[in-house]
Amino acid sequence: MVKQLNRDAVAVQQIDGGIMSHLKSKAPLIKEISGVDPYKCMKCGKCSASCPSFHEMDIKPHQFVSYILNDNIEALTESQSLWKCLSCFACIERCPRDVQPGKLIDGVRQVVVRQKGNDYLSADDIPELLDPELPQQLLVSAFRRYRR
């Protein structure tokens, strides 16, 4: 009986370790996708102060940087703040250290979309996801991302 309990405990530790290492391995990928060095952040909060979606977010832009530094990627992927960001890049303009939290947020979004695969979102789902209280999210984001 004791041997069975020990085997079960080892199996649970291996499963938990595998999940945690899978999530932690996303932090370097997010840094690579975004091209941002989050270690430059001095946590002044100017990025969050300039964010037009600040009051809608549960995790603020300056906190995104801390979550990535602490490898707390799971909390970011489950947060609604990930999708409340307008990609207006006001945070990037205000940052005195050029940390670019908006690009980190976009990197986390890309990781989530890649995990969910190609069938993550269809064109018919988009009108339901847009928040009528916020400015034209899709247009602002697309303009920033794809302009040449």
| Spatial distance between the Cα atoms of 67 and 74, rounded to a whole number of angstroms | 9
Q: Which of 41, 43, 112 is nearest to 75 (CA)?
A: 112
- For each of the domains in the chain, give its residue range(s) and CATH number, in order of start: 26-146 (1.10.1060.10)
Look-up: residue for tokens 């602002």? Answer: 140
What are 107-120's pLDDT values in tens digits?
Answer: 998 888 877 766 55
| SS percent in the chain: helix, strand, coil, step 5 | 65, 0, 35
| DSSP category for residue 58 | S
What are 68-95's pLDDT values in tens digits?
Answer: 999 999 998 888 888 889 888 899 999 9
If you count them, how many residues does the chain have? 148
